[in-house]
Amino acid sequence: MGESIKHLFSNWFSTDNFQAWKLQTKWDYIFFGILLLLGFLVFFFIQRSLKKHRNQKDATKRVARKLKRLGGKGSVCYIDKMVKTTDMEHFCELINVAKDRVYVVKVFPWGTKVIGSKTEKEWAFAYGKEIRYEANPLNDLDQQRGVVTRVLLRANQRSIPVIPLVVFADNYGRADFSIHGLKAANAVPIQQMGAWRRTYKLDKVPLDLEAVKKALENSFVEVPKEEPAPAAEEKKES
């Protein structure tokens, strides 16, 4: 077996009259078949893993890990939090406290081509021939920014930038997006977040991170659970 494999590789990769395929013995065909099978299995399991994690929860976790790593020392992320002040409250999918700023983030887990505008009610997301429509998140992000800003002001944390950010996080590929009127600093595919951070660098003067974290954590309240729909009454037999 060992000699056959050695013979196969010496044939395939010989420099003398090189040819890409030289299957001569039965072991050549067996080994080549094994390589094809292994390649197929690797592809199958990669595809299955990508499909399994192509959802909102896992995409948000992936983005949170990236933001935390790119946010500087002490950066932290909060996922699925209800933020409350004395006069308003709002659900926030993802909040990132970076070294010098706070991001409120909307993550889209599906779509490798995205088209929309700052004012349109819906954005179009496409993958292959399939197209889906999602609500424009910018108004909601603006409301999140408002409630987070109020929380920080009440804690005497002033002049802190609270920035909306949209991240396209389809793990099937990098999103090609065109959102008219949206600044490049406020939207990025997850695959380009490293370059995005290098372009929009953090300031050298940091926030009082502990005070900001404490203010936000003190504002979090339990997310109301949806009431289950009442079961339909069974019809009595007459």
Q: For residue range 22-81, list pLDDT tens digits in order.
A: 667 777 777 777 777 777 666 655 566 555 658 999 999 999 999 999 999 999 999 999
pLDDT of residue 5: 46
Domains and CATH numbers, the chain: 2-14+21-52 (no CATH), 56-221 (3.40.1350)
Helix (H) or strand (E) holding 111: none
Q: List phi, psi (to 5°) of 189.
A: -75, 145
Alpha helices in 13-53 (DSSP H): 26-52
pLDDT of residue 227: 58
- Distances in whole angstroms, Cα of residue 44 to Cα of each of 31, 109, 178: 20, 21, 32
Q: What is the b/e burial string over 115-133, where b = at least 16 CB atoms within 10 angstroms of the residue's CB? A: bbeeeeeebebbbeeeeee
Q: State the maximum Cα–Cα separation within the chain, in Å, rounded to a whole number.
A: 91
- Stated pTM of the model: 0.77
Give the C-alpha distances (Å, rounded to integers) separating 204 from 68, 73, 149, 185. 17, 12, 22, 18
